[in-house]
Chain A
């Protein structure tokens, strides 16, 4: 059954001509169309554009030099601009925005011969941890349709979990790849800040945003990552690093690997099932030859506080361009220029986006800048320094990805702080710019997936992927499929 295969397996099969990219793409499109009314993982499916790419891929598969991704359908979070594709960022503001250009990573995937399978649902402008803030409606968790898939890359996570696509892309500003990956039982990686170009990724908080792959396995993440990373002249924060062969690196042994366990991430806030799941995963790692060491991340409990100053501040400025002048939504009626701005932005943005713009505007405004913004930047440095100290004693840090498994739709909608705290373990890595990932490591009593978070030192993606891959060779949590889609 091709829908169950990993990217690795599909790539091998395509090159062996077991089936064509058109057949494969059509199969995933059909499944996506039939499931989307339930899951709502996609905002845009455009069969014609996808199949045109699939046909070109088949051409390459028969005559040219195929890559590991040639002919593989990949779903992209609707935050990435893709030429001729409606690119909404989950917002009414961009409901009809057809991008005239390709994001750097879209260009890269096109060069690799991959097929754009569609644009996935997300929290509006990536602001949310439940995918409930999307103008296009909430995404449902394939493991329990009454629960959230996490956010903001909720559509990308749910689509992979439900077998609607083999792999997807996400972006992670405070946990937006890792948290939905954990809640949907898939693997997701946020690379080191600067490794994946942000050009063409609609900005939320520029100093924190980083794109990355989401897939069934660490092995697939390695294949996708290789296409995504790389220097981009159009992004001033893009790094000029030597290319790494991630697909080979995952086979490295992890014997003797020192895993740092931060006590701050194992507080009483964690659900007991998660505590148990993580402990079992750590035991497995010890069986694989890893050594556990205690590390301290004393400032990390303040990461949520610092994040909710820095991210909204940057966002309030990044979202000023949505003014109804050059593109996007414009209010139908207004009295004058200022009224046009105010109505356009009041109607075009949803409640959570407006809340964060207000927070960001306030913390940057006259008289509050030092108390909030500068303070948060100082806390950010301390958090970053904590990690640097910890990595002197260990190779990787492990923790739960989330304090709880998937919560019910609407459960945290009334209190933003409760929602914000669901990213409590993921935010620190963004503040420091470190690579971090989540892999499935068990289920709670309600059969909801549990995620194990791995945080690495700068540019240690290969080491992290190897640790994840070795774990996935020894366990089968990542192969479990949600019940609603297995029937």
Chain B
């Protein structure tokens, strides 16, 4: 029997504002407990909410970036439930008319393009935190996070594997950072996913009963949790047992999911329009302003890179994977004139996807923090394009730059890295090698082509890598012919 997993994802994206969504308290992370919880956040008697314009602006950016419908009149509602980290006893959220509806997200899985439709995105406030560790039979409540603005983004249940789910989440994560609405720090909980998972037999049209895995704050956990849950559901059904709609938690230590609550004891949230907040109205001018302030989106950049710069698909995909990467790429490219643009683009892509990506990865940095600036990289590439540096030498120069050096030309001069391109000089090295390696010379002449590689290597060694291997090859062949 073939099974199919059906996944929908709800993501809580923390909007990167200075102050909270309904109060003037700071959203800064890491303050002393409750130091960022003002009278409004604590829900003191008599306090009232006032909506942060920047949070709305960021929601609009998202809606426009995903080609969604913006509801120019949306409503804030109260979601009522009791929990110690929810000071008012209700969360201000949006239910019936969210600010953003529809839209879609496109990404590649195994080279195939996949588009996932979005249901909606709505504004709401975050809750505080309950700390359980330090107190005997008690929990400590920290309300610093209470009132932090969130955009809850809900996808349609259109993903069919954990890999697709992870790609969706990664694409969304990159997008919200790209458009500057979320700093994307997953350790701090700024990007949290809930996965709705169900299974059905391949070919079935009806959806199975879903269970919702709450609060997955890493892509790895998202993948593990979905895989575990899908297997569990399949086994359950194969054993003739029912799936009961429920909310579950993923335990990252055991790699298993466990029940939090079933639908029967689900809350009755008693949503109703918040009387303290009037309808949120977005005028056309605001939309125009947001539209014009959005950076060029990854999809459009990718298309442009392929058509204008003749770069290939995989190269482009990584260049537009983050705004930092794309910015780095474009800043570097800007240093070259029209004639060399195409050649330079390919080399920049090679550097970014090779040496630089590896080094950044090793040091946990992104392109905006790269010690080798776009200007330095452009100099380095210029020196390879004009044959001053071989690929091998360029790598050595790069290492110097990464370690803190600033001038490509200064390194070349100091270290004597200049490529030997004078054929007379190379010939003298070649003669030396031929004289010292009669066996290999004989082997080559006997038809063993491998022996030539060995001889080239000897010349390169002798020149400390400064000779152009192609040139050495040619001269050797000529001399041995």
Contacts and interface: CB of A to CB of B under 8 A. Distances in A.
B78 A317 contact: yes
Interface in B262-283: 268, 270-272, 275-278
A100 B48 CA distance: 15
A237 B278 contact: yes
A320 B89 contact: yes
Contact of A236 (B78, B88, B272, B276): B276
A106 B193 CA distance: 45
Contact of B90 (A94, A317, A369): A317
A361 B270 contact: yes
B88 A321 contact: yes
B85 to A, nearest CB: 9
B278 A236 contact: yes
B249 to A, nearest CB: 18
Interface string B39-78: 1001111111111000000000000000000000000001
Interface in A77-104: 80-81, 87, 89, 94, 97, 99-101, 103
Contacts of B90: 317, 320
28 contacts: A81-B44, A94-B45, A199-B46, A199-B47, A200-B47, A201-B46, A203-B45, A203-B276, A207-B275, A234-B48, A234-B50, A235-B50, A236-B50, A237-B276, A316-B80, A317-B89, A317-B270, A320-B82, A320-B88, A322-B45, A323-B89, A325-B141, A327-B42, A327-B44, A338-B82, A364-B80, A364-B270, A365-B270
A198 B48 CA distance: 8
A327 B87 CA distance: 11
A321 B47 CA distance: 11
A443 to B, nearest CB: 37
A97 B275 contact: no
B84 interface: yes
Contacts, number: 101
A119 B180 CA distance: 49
A314 interface: yes
Contacts of B141: 325-326
Interface in B86-119: 87-90
Interface string B145-171: 000000000000000000000000000
Say which size band chain A's interface belongs to.
35 or more
A341 B84 CA distance: 10
A233 B52 CA distance: 12
B48 A236 contact: yes
Contacts of B42: 326-327
A120 B82 CA distance: 31
A467 interface: no
B268 A366 contact: yes
Given A236-B50, A237-B276, A323-B89, A317 B45 contact: no
Contacts of B87: 321, 325-326
Interface of A: 80-81, 87, 89, 94, 97, 99-101, 103, 198-203, 205-207, 233-237, 313-314, 316-317, 319-323, 325-327, 337-338, 341, 361, 364-366, 369, 373
A369 B44 contact: no
Ordered nearest first, which 6 A-B pairs have the shortest CB separation? A320-B89, A207-B275, A364-B270, A206-B275, A321-B43, A202-B45
A203 B42 CA distance: 15
A237 B276 CA distance: 7
A205 B272 contact: no
Contacts of A205: 275
B50 A341 contact: no
A364 B48 CA distance: 22
A191 to B, nearest CB: 17
A320 B42 CA distance: 13
Nearest to A194: B278
Contacts of A314: 272, 275
A201 B45 CA distance: 8
A369 B89 CA distance: 19
Contacts of B39: 100-101
B277 A341 contact: no
Contact of A337 (B50, B84, B268, B270): B84
B44 to A, nearest CB: 7
Nearest to B22: A236
Given A320-B90, A321-B89, A369 B48 contact: no
A100 B49 CA distance: 18
Given A236-B278, A317-B272, A203 B84 contact: no
Nearest to A337: B84
A2 B116 CA distance: 77
B46 A81 contact: yes
A373 B78 CA distance: 14
Contacts of B84: 323, 325, 337
B48 A341 contact: no
B45 A89 contact: yes
A203 B78 CA distance: 15
Nearest to B39: A101
